[in-house]
Amino acid sequence: MGDELLGSIDTPSGEPTRQSTSRYEFLEHLGSGGMAEVYRARDRELGRDLAIKLFRENTGSPFDELRREREIQLLGALHHPGLVEIYDAGVFDDRGRSRRYIAMEYVAGRSLAARLRAGLPTHRQVADIGAQVADALAYVHARDIVHRDVKPDNILVTDDAAYGYTLIAKLADFGIAQFIDGSRFTNHDSVLGTASYISPEQARGEDVGTPTDIYSLGLVLLEAITGEREFRGAPLEAALARLYRQPRIPESLPEEWVRLLAGMTAADPAARPTAHEVAGTMRDFIRASILDERSRHGGGTRRARRERRRDADGRRTASMGFIALVAIANAVIGLVIGLLLGLHVWG
């Protein structure tokens, strides 16, 4: 792109750096990763806020360079409501240094990790998040892509209610994703993923398929429900723990949640449900939650209506009984008067 840099923004280290282009105005530092910084920026041409992932200078590692280019290619080819959308990519000059960047959708919310630190979501909210992330995974899995790093930090959540959900969740960061056939830039000599959320097959350094994302999502949902990360400790300790035991799923959870989470975190990848099946089960949970909520809030109203109907029926019955008694009394009086008159005439 080669734009002249304008303006300035402070880096996390506190040192100012000129990081605005003729099109993008950098506004706020959002976060850092191993390969890049992420900023909120303003697109001057389209008048909208977006997120810019600004990659650090080349480290000299061919794998890191291929990993960066893979993320750009993957994001550019994927379009789904449950994924962070890419708008632009390019290179600009930062004081003589070439900096690769991705301009993408700005999600005005927080990561699921940040939300969990603030408090536990409801089971309905967990189901909303799970359904949307599973839908996004079903989309990428259908394109033979494995995310390989599903974790709370990579799920962005907003409080906007849409599509029948109480909040919106989007899956981000495809930096270590790979194609299932392994034909695109795979480093076979390293275990990639976040130790607390990787699958057993990842921990063993085996080739992975779509079930590995299901296992990771299962651990994420379990943490969202219980508030506890299942496999904690140092990276090596956390990674190896799943090779010796299954995740502990509280029996106090509703039976349907226990069954789903146990299936998602099964040691055998073949025993895990597909992303499509997980999304469908989550939507079943959501429908059940809606019906339960309506029953709780509408039950009193329905009972009141039934009681009012019974009262009205009782009043109508009493009124009709009174009218019938009056009619009978009038008939008796008429009969007596008639008899008396008849006796007088004949007498």
What is the CATH classification number for the domain harbouring 122?
1.10.510.10
Residue 193 shares a structural domain with residue 282: yes
What is the domain count for the chain? 2
Residue 29 shares a structural domain with residue 124: no
Q: Which of 266, 290, 314 is the last residue of a domain?
A: 290
List CB contacts of 213: < 8 A, sequence separation 6 or more. 137, 141, 146, 147, 148, 150, 275
**pLDDT band at residue 59, thresholds of 50, 70 and 90?**
low
User: Whole-structure pTM over 0.95, yes or no?
Assistant: no
Average pLDDT, the chain: 79
Read off the pLDDT of each residue in 325-344 and give the average, rounded to a whole number: 46
pLDDT given for residue 344 in this prediction:
46
pLDDT given for residue 347 in this prediction:
44
| Active site residues per annotation | 149
Read off the pLDDT of each residue in 149-178 and give the average, rounded to a whole number: 88
Read off the pLDDT of each residue in 301-311 and give the average, rounded to a whole number: 54
Establish if 122 belongs to a structural domain: yes
Which single residue is written with the structure tokens 């709780």?
Answer: 296
DSSP E strands, the chain:
9-10, 16-17, 24-32, 36-43, 48-55, 86-94, 97-105, 110-111, 145-146, 155-158, 168-171, 178-179
Residue 22 shares a structural domain with residue 86: yes
Report how far residue 122's alpha carbon sits from residue 137's, in angstroms, rounded to the nearest whole number: 22
pLDDT for 181-239, tens place per residue?
A: 544 434 444 455 688 899 999 999 888 999 999 999 999 999 999 999 998 888 888 88
Residue 228 shares a structural domain with residue 250: yes
Residue 85 shares a structural domain with residue 129: no
**pLDDT band at residue 19, thresholds of 50, 70 and 90?**
low
Q: With a cut of 90, say whether residue 91 has pLDDT above it.
A: no
Read off the pLDDT of each residue in 74-83 and give the average, rounded to a whole number: 87
Beta bridge partners of 122: none
Beta bridge partners of 208: none
Q: With a cut of 50, say whether residue 9 has pLDDT above it.
A: no
- The H-assigned helical ranges of 197-274 are 200-203, 211-226, 235-241, 255-264
Establish if 191 belongs to a structural domain: yes
Residue 83 shares a structural domain with residue 116: no
**pLDDT band at residue 310, thresholds of 50, 70 and 90?**
low
Report how far residue 309's alpha carbon sits from residue 24's, in angstroms, rounded to the nearest whole number: 66
**pLDDT band at residue 317, thresholds of 50, 70 and 90?**
low
pLDDT given for residue 271 in this prediction:
98
Establish if 301 belongs to a structural domain: no
What is the CATH classification number for the domain harbouring 98?
3.30.200.20
Establish if 300 belongs to a structural domain: no
Q: Which of 89, 105, 121 is the last residue of a domain?
A: 105
| Structural domain of 99 | 9-105
Pairing between β-strand 97-105 and β-strand 48-55 as defined by DSSP bridges: antiparallel
Burial 240-271 (b: 16+ CB within 10 A, else e): bbbeeeebebeeebeeebeebbbbbbbeebee
Residue 213 shares a structural domain with residue 117: yes
| C-beta atoms surrounding 273 within 10 Å | 18
Residue 189 shares a structural domain with residue 124: yes
Establish if 235 belongs to a structural domain: yes
Read off the pLDDT of each residue in 313-324 and give the average, rounded to a whole number: 52
Residue 148 shares a structural domain with residue 208: yes
Residue 159 shares a structural domain with residue 275: yes
pLDDT for 104-156, tens place per residue?
A: 999 989 999 999 999 999 999 999 999 999 999 999 999 999 999 999 999 99
Q: In the β-sheet with 155-158, what is the strand arrangement from edge to edge?
A: 110-111, 155-158, 168-171
Read off the pLDDT of each residue in 15-25 and give the average, rounded to a whole number: 62
Establish if 316 belongs to a structural domain: no
Report how far residue 28's alpha carbon sits from residue 157's, in angstroms, rounded to the nearest whole number: 19
Q: With a cut of 60, say whether residue 318 has pLDDT above it.
A: no
SS3 68: helix
Answer yes or no: are the C-beta atoms of 82 and 171 closer than 8 Å. Answer: yes
Answer yes or no: are the C-beta atoms of 176 and 148 closer than 8 Å. Answer: yes
Q: Which of 290, 306, 336 is the last residue of a domain?
A: 290
Most confident of 99-103, 115-119, 290-294, 299-303: 115-119
Residue 122 shares a structural domain with residue 237: yes
pLDDT given for residue 163 in this prediction:
86
pLDDT given for residue 193 in this prediction:
67
Report how far residue 26's alpha carbon sits from residue 199's, in angstroms, rounded to the nearest whole number: 37
Establish if 186 belongs to a structural domain: yes
Establish if 323 belongs to a structural domain: no
Residue 16 shares a structural domain with residue 98: yes
pLDDT given for residue 327 in this prediction:
52
Q: With a cut of 80, say whether residue 313 has pLDDT above it.
A: no
CA torsion, ordered 26, 31, 33, 37, to nearest 10 deg: 10
Answer yes or no: are the C-beta atoms of 106 and 40 closer than 8 Å. Answer: yes
